[in-house]
Amino acid sequence: MNPKTKIAVVFGSRSVEHEVSIVTAMQIFENINREKYDVIPIYIDKQGRWLVAEKLGKIDSFKNLKLTDVKAPEYVFEASPSIAALVLKSRFKFFPAQGWSAFGGNKIKADIYFPAIHGTFGEDGTLQGLFEMADVPYVGSGVTGSAVGMDKIIQKAVLKENGIPVVKYIWFSKNEWRENKIEIIKNIEKDLGYPVFVKPANLGSSVAINKANGLKELESAIEIASHFDRRIIVEEGKEGIVEINCSVMGNNELTASVCEQPIKSEQMLTYEDKYLKGEKTKGMAGLSRLIPAPISEELTKKIQEAAKRAFRAVDASGISRIDF
């Protein structure tokens, strides 16, 4: 009998989307085929410690919403390809000549790593880079695809270069906002008008995204976004918008999913819509949606083709969801 494949699910991290990542990981633990796979839960807490224990695969370990009392053995990921394993922190010893080195047993080695982290320090190419250094297989896009897919400013430039339509936008740094606030506002009002959507460049889950219908709302939205990122993007708003999602799976040969339409309470899909309504432990899986989306067959095909083109343009792999 062939041994089961060991899959290490990595979740949590120092991201502001920490709690969302926990929900995603729980969905993986609940749905993965246990007859084929042995699952290793790797929880990165808000301080960046890597904790490993079977109990971390259960939502009961995270009942304290402050997540300050999660207790489990702490491990260190050794990225040297000759080791490429999790080593119990207490089994590390400091040697003055070489620095910290692992010794003895207490190693956890996975066949493949499954990143379930949302946002920075996991979804943005950083964790993928660590796995590349360790020369271990992992699920999802590589360093480039993850980084470009996460950065809304670079992503839009790449999409435009590949002939994929995007709304008009302006971006600037937090420092530029502090020094040239009046000029930036003038450019936004001249080139985009109102309403606009203000976003941090490198976050997901609709965190710190706000719609601005006038000057006061614009200034407030930019201040909020600047607390989460050093770069801010402001996008032209459209009235009567409908959001359509389409997933793409594959590497060389791509398959686009059926289109879906999320049901939102506001003019844009908010964090509350995504994660705080319905069954809260199900995250996006608990979101109300129409499947398939009530759109024409022609528009469906157009969206599916655009989704595959966007997937290729950012150098994604594995699976991604593209929002329209």
Per-residue pLDDT tens digits for 183-202: 999 999 999 999 999 999 98
Domain C-terminal end among 215, 236, 257: 236
Q: Is the pLDDT of residue 222 over 90?
A: yes
Residue 145 lies in a domain: no
Count of structural domains, the chain? 3
Residue 146 lies in a domain: no
The region, left, alpha or beta by phi > 0 then psi within -120 to 50, assigned to residue 51 is: beta
User: How would you write the chain as a 3-class SS string?
Assistant: CCCCEEEEEEEECCCCCHHHHHHHHHHHHHHCCCCCEEEEEEEECCCCCEEECHHHHCHHHHCCCCCCCCCCCEEEEECCCCCCEEEEHHHEEEECCCEEEECCCCEECCCEEEECCCCCCCCCCHHHHHHHHHCCCECCCCHHHHHHHHCHHHHHHHHHHCCCCCCCEEEEEHHHHHHCHHHHHHHHHHHCCCCEEEEECCCCCCCCCEEECCHHHHHHHHHHHHCCCCEEEEEECCCCCCCCEEEEEECCCEEECCCEEECCCCCCCCHHHHHHCCCHHHHHHHCCEECCCCCCHHHHHHHHHHHHHHHHHCCCCEEEEEEC
Among 41, 32, 34, residue whose Cα is nearest residue 8: 41
Do residue 108 and residue 186 come from a single domain? no
Q: Cβ distance 170 to 187 under 8 Å?
A: yes
Q: Is the peptide bond before 81 cis (omega within 30 degrees of 0)?
A: no
Question: What CATH number does residue 228 fall under?
Answer: 3.30.1490.20
**Which pLDDT score is estimated for 266?**
58
**Which pLDDT score is estimated for 97?**
46
Residue 212 lies in a domain: yes
Do residue 45 and residue 130 come from a single domain? yes
Domain C-terminal end among 120, 139, 158: 139
CA-CA distance, 17 to 27, in Å (whole number)?
16
Question: What CATH number does residue 292 fall under?
Answer: 3.30.470.20
Domain C-terminal end among 236, 255, 280: 236
More confident residue, 61 or 10: 10
Residue 155 lies in a domain: no
Residue 159 lies in a domain: no
Residue 231 lies in a domain: yes
CA-CA distance, 248 to 311, in Å (whole number)?
7
Do residue 35 and residue 82 come from a single domain? yes
Do residue 66 and residue 133 come from a single domain? yes
Residue 157 lies in a domain: no
Q: Which residue has the tokens 């008008």?
A: 193
Per-residue pLDDT tens digits for 32-67: 999 999 999 999 999 899 999 999 999 988 877 666
The predicted model gives 127-135 an average pLDDT of 94
Per DSSP, what are the bridge partners of residue 43? 11, 51
Do residue 123 and residue 209 come from a single domain? no
Percent of the chain with pLDDT over 70: 85
Question: What CATH number does residue 72 fall under?
Answer: 3.40.50.20
Confidence of residue 285 (pLDDT cuts 50, 70, 90): low
**Which pLDDT score is estimated for 94?**
46
The verdict on whether residue 323 carries a ligand-binding annotation is: yes
Do residue 230 and residue 245 come from a single domain? no
**Which pLDDT score is estimated for 199?**
95
φ, ψ of residue 9 in degrees (nearest 5): -95, 120
Q: Is the pLDDT of residue 107 over 80?
A: no
pTM for this one? 0.83
Per DSSP, what are the bridge partners of residue 3? none
More confident residue, 208 or 20: 20
**Which pLDDT score is estimated for 87?**
80
Do residue 188 and residue 93 come from a single domain? no
**Which pLDDT score is estimated for 111?**
93
Lowest mean pLDDT among 50-64, 106-120, 161-175, 258-272: 258-272
**Which pLDDT score is estimated for 17?**
86
Do residue 27 and residue 125 come from a single domain? yes
Domain that holds residue 175: 168-236
CA-CA distance, 28 to 9, in Å (whole number)?
8
Residue 163 lies in a domain: no
Q: Is the pLDDT of residue 31 over 90?
A: yes
**Which pLDDT score is estimated for 312?**
97
Percent of the chain with pLDDT over 90: 65
- Average model confidence (pLDDT) across the chain: 86
Per-residue pLDDT tens digits for 78-99: 888 877 788 887 765 544 444 4
Do residue 304 and residue 185 come from a single domain? no
Do residue 296 and residue 263 come from a single domain? yes
Do residue 213 and residue 310 come from a single domain? no
Residues across the chain: 324
